[in-house]
Amino acid sequence: MEARLRDLLARAGAAPGPVVVLTGAGISAASGIPTFRGPEGYWRIGSVNYRPEHLATRSAFERMPESVWAWYLYRRGVCLAAVPNAAHRALVELERARGERFVLVTQNVDGLHLRAGNTPARTLQVHGNLHFARCFGACGGPLPLPAELGAGWPRDRELDPATAAALRCARCGGWLRPHVLWFDECYDEANYRFDSALGSLGGAALLLVVGTAGATNLPSQLVTAAAARNVPLVVQNLEPSPFTATAARARDGVVVLGEAADEVPRIVAALLA
């Protein structure tokens, strides 16, 4: 590990403020979770090939809730078959060591951070979690989906009546919806803890960015704010990205190129040294 990174992590580890960790798809790559943004994200309904940015929308759900649910149950099946990797486990160790001086902000909806052992109190799932659903008519907050719903769901399976019945709101009888932020929706605090995520940087000892390239709005705001306020910034990614460029320009920034499953355990070990 280069001396500048080791020094920065030693200072951050000893500082009283929270260590804020922002994670994206790169941390789950070693667990076999595809991004669902590239070619593997295509989904055929009838004769039409949909891209995720068209399917993961409120307007698609309004038009064809059964088909959108089938896609999410397939994705949930992929996530249920995956297991957390060494990077997830290192962040559990970091939370256990730092307690309330740790905040995890994740763009991932795969649920692997919670399965690894990070607590819901310290984990801000700013894009939701596809193992949860809530009433489309806004009766109440998210509830966990039945454990086996979606396990082994093949790409071409349509929604059957029994599964559709399990996806109804117990209170009003209307559709449940996946507890995920759709492309045509806005962040909010009630569902996605947007304000908590932005506020987490106040007095932060470090912003550690793992496996995200800066494609969406909230992560960009966090990284830009950290650089502007001279919060120490470490950006790990497989390849250069807008976020690594920000870290390279920042007064107290370091770029770490490599696999999250290799690099995050080293970074956490240096923070806890």
Residues catalogued as catalytic: 127
Q: Does 176 bind Zn ion (CB under 5 A)?
A: no
Interface segment toward Zn ion; rule CB under 5 A; list 43-51, 123-131, 132-140, 213-221: 132-140
Q: Does 170 bind Zn ion (CB under 5 A)?
A: no
Q: Does 270 bind Zn ion (CB under 5 A)?
A: no
Of 37, 171, 229, 249, which lies in the binding site for Zn ion, with binding defined by CB under 5 A?
171
Q: Does 133 bind Zn ion (CB under 5 A)?
A: no
Phi-psi region of 42 (alpha: psi -120 to 50; beta: other; left: phi over 0): beta
Give the number of residues in contact with Zn ion, rule: CB under 5 A. Answer: 6
CA distance 176 to 76: 15
Q: 140 or 152: whose CB is closer to Zn ion?
A: 140
According to DSSP, the residues that pair with 103 across neighbouring strands are: 20
Q: 44 or 171: whose CB is closer to Zn ion?
A: 171
Q: Does 105 bind Zn ion (CB under 5 A)?
A: no
Q: How long, in residues, is the chain?
A: 273
Q: Does 143 bind Zn ion (CB under 5 A)?
A: no
**Least gap, CB of 141 to Zn ion (angstroms):** 11
**Least gap, CB of 180 to Zn ion (angstroms):** 17
Contact status, residue 212 vs residue 237, Cβ threshold 8 Å? yes
Of 34, 137, 242, 265, which lies in the binding site for Zn ion, with binding defined by CB under 5 A?
137
CA 119 to chain centre: 14
Interface segment toward Zn ion; rule CB under 5 A; list 110-118, 152-160, 172-180, 219-227: 172-180
**The dihedral sign for the CA sequence 230, 231, 232, 238:** negative
According to DSSP, the residues that pair with 133 across neighbouring strands are: 143, 178
Q: Does 91 bind Zn ion (CB under 5 A)?
A: no
Structure tokens at 201: 């940087």
Contact status, residue 127 vs residue 35, Cβ threshold 8 Å? no
Within a 10 A sphere around the Cβ of 37, how many other Cβ atoms?
13
Q: Which residues bind Zn ion (CB under 5 A)?
A: 135, 137, 139, 169, 171-172
